[in-house]
């Protein structure tokens, strides 16, 4: 685990974006932890999340021409990431996002910001069943651009409830021959808990959940 990943977990816990307990998911599973990126909802937290996304993007070493933030949650994330890349790494990264409703007046179209040309990295909060990311990939294809990578906050690294035996992220990677990177994964959270030594009961539940639903890595 790298320094920015450890700091991200501490930051998420402090701001109650990452919580431990018992959480009922849409899949019907009961998870021992929950990550709610929607709680990055102030100038201070948005500035901080941008720094973590930028650090993860640099770590991933994706080659890209434009960063793309899918509406709606991806919009503030891609803006914050581009700002942090400029401030922390002196990199002027072009970015854009989509409108949900296509505009037929003014500049028109459904892309706001830099046109989607060349290699594109999608910046979003999470990948679940894959529907939102598939929409982003379709938009990139429609603009004759190339998907170069996907960056999200958390990889839950658990098998999807569709019987495939793969996680939502693994399914996206295989279908699109592209790498999906996350700032942190469930394993990083567990490693952090081990280091702290104060999450004994929560860690036990995390290990049980991973044993039941965790993906099997090669």
Active site residues: 103, 105
Report the distance separating Cα 218 and Cα 119, nearest Å. 29
Q: Where are the alpha helices (DSSP H) in the chain?
A: 3-14, 43-60, 74-89, 131-142, 168-176, 186-196, 200-213
Q: Which tokens sit at 20?
A: 């431990």
φ, ψ for residue 75, nearest 5 deg: -65, -55
Residue 194 burial (CB < 10 Å; 0-12/13-18/19+)?
A: exposed
User: Under DSSP, is residue 185 helix (H, G, I), strand (E, B) or coil?
Assistant: strand
Distance CA 52, CA 97 (A): 20
Tokens at residue 66, please? 């434009």
Of 33, 71, 38, residue with least CA distance to 155: 33
Decide the pairing of beta strands 119-123 and 146-155.
Answer: parallel
């Amino acid at each position: 685990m790298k320094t920015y990943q450890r700091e991200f977990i501490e930051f998420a816990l402090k701001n109650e974006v990452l919580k431990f307990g018992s959480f009922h998911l849409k899949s019907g599973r009961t998870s021992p932890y929950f990550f709610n990126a929607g709680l990055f909802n102030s100038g201070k937290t948005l500035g901080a999340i941008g720094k973590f996304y930028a650090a993860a993007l640099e770590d991933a070493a994706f080659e890209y021409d434009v960063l793309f933030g899918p509406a709606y949650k991806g919009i503030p994330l891609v803006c914050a990431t581009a700002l942090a890349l400029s401030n922390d790494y002196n990199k002027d990264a072009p970015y854009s996002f989509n409108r949900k409703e296509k505009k037929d007046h003014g500049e028109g179209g459904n892309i706001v910001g830099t046109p989607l040309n060349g290699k594109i990295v999608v910046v979003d909060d999470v990948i679940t069943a894959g529907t939102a990311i598939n929409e982003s990939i379709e938009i990139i294809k429609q603009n004759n651009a190339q998907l170069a990578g996907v960056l999200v906050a958390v990889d839950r690294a658990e098998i999807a409830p569709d019987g495939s035996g793969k996680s939502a992220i693994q399914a996206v990677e295989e279908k699109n021959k592209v790498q999906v990177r996350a700032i942190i994964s469930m394993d990083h959270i567990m490693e952090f808990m081990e280091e702290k030594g104060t999450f004994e009961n929560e860690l036990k539940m995390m290990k049980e959940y991973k044993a039941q639903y965790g993906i099997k890595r090669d």
